[in-house]
Amino acid sequence: MAANMRGLTQFIADIRGARVRELEEKRINKEMANIRKKFKDGNLDGYQKKKYVAKIIFTYILGYKVDVGHMEAVNLISSSKYSEKQIGYLAVTLLMHENSDFLRLVVNSIRKDLDENNEVSNCLALHAIANVGSSEMAEALSEDVHRLLISPTSQTFVKKKAALTLLRLYRKHPTVIPAAEWAMRLVSIMDDQDLGVVICVTSLIMALAQDHLDAYAVCYTKAVDRLHRLVIEGEYSATYAYYKVPSPWLQVKLLRLLQYYAPSEDATLRSVLHEVLQTIMSNSAEPSRNVQHNNAQHAVLFEAISLAIHLDASSPLVGTSAVLLARFISSKETNVRYLGLDTMAHLAARADSLEPLKKHQGTIILSLRDKDISVRRRALDLLYSMCDTDNSELIVGELLRYLKVADYALREEMVLKIAILTEKYANSYKWYIDTILQLISAAGDHVGDEVWYRVVQIVTNTEDLQEYAAKVVFEHLKSPSTHESLVKVGGYILGEYGHLIANDTGYSPLEQFQVLHSKSQFCVASTRSLLLSTYIKWVNVFPEIKPQLVNIFERYRHVLDAELQQRACEFYSLASRPDDDEVLQNVCEEMPPFPPRVSALIGRLNRKLGDTEDKRTWIHGGKEMNLERHANSRKATLPGSSAPGTATVTGTADAQDVMSSLAGLNLSSSGDQPDSSRVDGSVVAPRVAVGPSVEKWFNKLTYSAEGVLYEDVQIQIGIKSRYQGHLGQLAIYLGNKISVPLTSFTSTIHVNDSEALSATFAKIPPNTLVPRTQSQQLLHVECKKAFSSFPILTVSFLAGAHQSISIRLPISITKFIEGVKLGQADFFERWKVIGGPPREAQAVFPITLDGTGQLDLVRYRQVVSGNHLEILEDVDPNPSNLVAAGVLHTSVDGKVGCLLRLEPNREAKLCRLTVRSTSEDVAAEVLRLIEKLLRLDSS
C-alpha cells in the first residue's frame, strides 16, 4: 500500500529515522499541521484523502492522539475504488469508538456496501460492523448481515464472515438479535456444502442455542447427521482434513452443541450417536508419533468422552473412556494431562460409582504438585468431585497439606472446597471441628466469612459438639500467632459455651479471658465488637472476672470508633446493674439453634466459577450436587415452561445472601445479592397449515390407511399406515415436484404429550430431495396412554428461499383400537356393566340425508370401521342403528374396552352418538373424533 503512496513511504521513513522521541514528535506535529491545512483548504481528490488518512492511521498506531481526519475517513468509505474504501474502513474501525457520533454517518454507507453484489465490499463492511459492534450499528444492520448469510447468491467466504459478525453482535448486544425468529433459517445452513460455512454457523448456533434451547432444538438432528457424515461416511474434502482428522474444529463444536440438550429419546439418533462416539474412540485408541495429529485427535476425543458421559454415565462407552483417561492423566504432555483431569472431573460429576476413578487417586494427588498451575487447578477440581465418605479424610488431609504451599491464586478456592468436603463427608463432628480450625489457622487471609459463619452454625445446632469445640478453639488460641478469623470463631464459641469447660483444669474463666483478650490488640474494629459481645456474656456467667471485664468496657467508652463506643457504653450500663437484676440474664441468654439452611459455601463457590462464555452443562462436586443443581434449575422454571426432551442450562447454582446466614453476626453492611437465571419458555406447537384441501385430506386419512396429506406446487406429502396393538408404522412419502433439488431438507415431529405417545423416525432423514423424485421416511409410533392431540410433522427446506410447512399427522387413539366381535347378549351385558356417565360420552347433532332423502348408512359404516371399531351385525333391532366394539391397546395403561352406538333419525335429521368405555378419557376422545367426521356432511 505504502509503495503506491510516495508521501506515506517518506513519512514512515522519516519516523523510523528519528533517533530520539523529540525528533519523532516534531516530525509528526509538522505532518499533522500540514494535513489539517490540506483538509481545511478542501478540493482534495480521492488519492490525496487516502494518503493523508493513511498517515493519520500510522500516527494513531504509534500511540499518538489523533483529532483530525474522521470526516475524510467517512467520505472514503463511499468511494467506488477499493483502495480508498479499504483505508476509509480501516480508519473508521481504528479511530472511532462504538459511541462516536461519526458512526451514525457511516451506517448508510455500510448498508450500501452490504447490499452491493460485490463480495469485497461486503467483506469490508462486515469487518467494520464486527470490529466496532456498537449498539446502534447492531440495531440498524443486523438484518442486512443476516440477509447476506442466508442469501443463496452470497459467496462462501462472505457467509463465513456474516456468521461470525452476527456472533460478535449477539455476544455484545444479545437483545438486538431476534434469535428465536431466525432459528430455522440459521439451522438450515448447517447443511451447507462448504464445511467452512458450517463451522462458522455452528459457532453462531452454539451461542444462540445456549439461551434459546427450544427454538434451536432442530439443530440436534442436524449435528448428529453431520457428525455421522464426517466420521462414518467420510463426507468431506481433503482441504478440511487436518493431519488426517476430518475437520476437528467442526467435530468439537458439534459434540459440544449436543451437550447443551438432554439426551434424545429418539432411538435412531441414539444409535447413530453411539456409532459415531465408538468410532472416534477406536480411532484414538493408539497415539500417533505425529504431534499435530495427536493434538487434533485428542481434541475430538475429549469432547466425545464428555458427550458420552452426558448421554449415559453408565454406558460401556464411558467404561472405555475411563480406561483412556487413566492413560491420559499420566501423559508427558501437559495439555493432555490437563484435558484428562478435566474430563475425568466431568465423569466424577455424573458417574454412579467412583470406584474406577479411585484406582488412580495416587496419580491425581501427585498432579497437585504439577509444574503447571492449570493442571494443579484441574487436579483440585477432580479431587473435589471424586471425594466421598470413604476417602474424605485422605483427600481433605492431602488438600490441607498442599494448602500451605499452594499458589495464592488457588488458595481461596481450595479453602471453600476443603470446607465443603469437610462438612459434607465428616464421619464425626470432632473430625469436622479439628479440620476446620486447622484450615482457618493455615489459610489465614484466604478464609472468607462464609467459612467461620458455617462453623458457628453447626456448633450452635449440635449440642454434643459444643464442649469439645470450646476446648479445641481455646487450644488454638493459645498459639503465638492466630489469624483473625480464628479469633472470631473463638470469641463466639467461648462466649456461648466457655462455661461448659470453665471447671476443667487449664480452662478457668480467667485463663479464657487472658488468652482471648491478648489477641484483641491485633484485630480490626469489627472483631473487637464481637469480643465485646463475648465479654458481656462472660459478665453474666463468670462473676469472678467481672471487674476486669467492666474495666475493659470503661476503656472502650472513649474510643473514636462509633460502633465500639456504642457497644461499650451499652454493655457498661448492663454490667453496672445490681446482681439480682434479671435484665442482664435475659439479654445474655444462650443463642437458640439456627433454622436449617443450605450451606452458603456451595453458592459462593459456584458464583466464583460460573462466569464463563461457554456455559458448562455440569458443575464440580459429584453426582449428588449435579442432580441438586438440575432440580434447582427446574424449580426456577416458570409454571408450565418445562418441555419434554429439553434441558435448561444455567450458569450458576442458587446463591444465598451470605451475610444474612447468621443472625447477630452481620459485620458488614452489604452482602452478595441472589443470582437469578433467566429461563426460556416452553416449546410452542408449530402453526399448522390450513386450507379446504388440507382439511379434507386430513379428515379422510383419520379413517383410511393411505392417501395424500398435503400438496402444493413444490412438494407432495402422502401417508401409508399400519397398526398392530399399541404400535404403528407410517410410511411418509415426500415428493419433489419441481426441477431443482430441495436442499437442507429437515423433518421433525412435535408430540404434545410425549408420555402418552412416542413418534420417532427409523433413520435420520436425508437432507436433499432430488428433483422430480419421491423419498420415503418410516415413522414408528407407540401409544403409551390415551391422548387427545395429533402429532405435528414439520418439513422445512430451501428452494430459493427457506420454507417451512407444518401439518397434523392422522394419528389418533382410534388407530390403536382393535375390533372385537360380540354377540347381542355379550354386548348389552358389557354396555350395562360400564354404566352411564362419567364413563359414557354422548352427543346429539344434525345430519344431512343423501340425494334420495335416505340416511347415508354406507358412509356411517365407513367412518366407524375406519376408526378400527368392529361393527356388530344383528345386535340392535333397528337396522338403521350401528353398534360397534373394540379394545384400545396401550403400553402403559394396558387394554381399554370401548363400545359405540350410533342412532340416526331420518325424520328429525338428527343423530345420537353414544360411546361407553372403561376409561372416561377414552370415551370422550372417541366420541369427539367420530362426531367430527359425521358432522362434516351436515356442515
Which residues fall within 8 angstroms of residue 583, CB to CB, at 6 or more apart? Answer: 574, 577
Amino acid at 210: Q
The per-residue pLDDT for 609 is 53
Q: State yes or no: pLDDT of 925 exceeds 80.
A: yes
CB atoms within 10 A of CB 211: 16
Q: State yes or no: pLDDT of 650 exceeds 60.
A: no
What are the helix (H) ranges across 330-407?
A: 334-350, 355-358, 361-367, 373-385, 392-403
The per-residue pLDDT for 599 is 65
Q: State yes or no: pLDDT of 177 exceeds 70.
A: yes
338-376 pLDDT tens trace = 999 999 988 888 888 888 888 888 898 998 888 888 899
Distance CA 97, CA 103 (A): 9
Task: List the end-to-end C-alpha distance of the chain, in Å, as a whole number.
Answer: 78
Strand, coil or helix: 728: strand
% pLDDT > 70, the chain: 90
Q: State yes or no: pLDDT of 769 exceeds 60.
A: yes
- For the entire predicted model, the pTM comes to 0.77
Residue 675, φ and ψ in degrees, nearest 5? -100, 125
Question: For the chain, what is the total number of helices (H) and then of strands (E)?
Answer: 37, 16
Strand, coil or helix: 231: helix
Which residues fall within 8 angstroms of residue 411, CB to CB, at 6 or more apart? Answer: 403, 443, 446
Q: What angle do CA 612, 617, 619 make, to 5 degrees?
A: 75
Distance CA 860, CA 78 (A): 74
> Between 817 and 96, whose confidence is greater?
817
In what side-by-side order are the strands of the sheet with 743-750? 743-750, 792-799, 801-808
The per-residue pLDDT for 884 is 94
517-566 pLDDT tens trace = 888 877 888 888 888 888 888 888 888 888 888 898 888 888 888 888 89
Indicate the pLDDT class of residue 444, thresholds 50, 70 and 90: confident
Residue whose C-alpha cell reads 491478648 in the numeric block: 518
Indicate the pLDDT class of residue 606, thresholds 50, 70 and 90: low
User: Quick one: which of 470, 473, 493, 469 has its CA closest to 482?
Assistant: 473
Q: State yes or no: pLDDT of 673 exceeds 60.
A: no
Q: State yes or no: pLDDT of 137 exceeds 50.
A: yes
Which residues fall within 8 angstroms of residue 791, CB to CB, at 6 or more apart? Answer: 749, 750, 751, 752, 757, 759, 781, 808, 809, 811
Got the DSSP string for 786-846?
A: ---S--EEEEEEEESEEEEEEEE----GGGGEEE----HHHHHHHHHHH-STTSEEEEEEE
Using alpha carbons only, how large is the chain's radius of gyration in Å?
38
Q: State yes or no: pLDDT of 637 exceeds 60.
A: no
Least confident of 118-122, 204-208, 518-522, 531-535: 518-522
Distance CA 574, CA 556 (A): 15
The per-residue pLDDT for 684 is 65
Least confident of 76-80, 157-161, 867-871: 76-80
Distance CA 781, CA 869 (A): 20
| Cell digits of residue 193 | 456444502
Q: What is the mean pLDDT of the chain?
A: 85
3-state secondary structure 300-315: HHHHHHHHHHHHCCCC
The per-residue pLDDT for 161 is 95
The per-residue pLDDT for 253 is 95
687-737 pLDDT tens trace = 888 888 899 999 999 999 999 999 999 999 999 999 999 999 999 999 999
The per-residue pLDDT for 611 is 42
User: Quick one: which of 111, 73, 118 has its CA closest to 92?
Assistant: 73
CB atoms within 10 A of CB 854: 10
Distance CA 235, CA 766 (A): 14
Q: State yes or no: pLDDT of 836 exceeds 50.
A: yes
Q: State yes or no: pLDDT of 506 exceeds 60.
A: yes
Distance CA 14, CA 3 (A): 15
Distance CA 373, CA 504 (A): 48
> Between 447 and 494, whose confidence is greater?
494
Helix (H) or strand (E) holding 898: strand 894-905
Which residues fall within 8 angstroms of residue 827, CB to CB, at 6 or more apart? Answer: 872, 875, 883, 885, 899
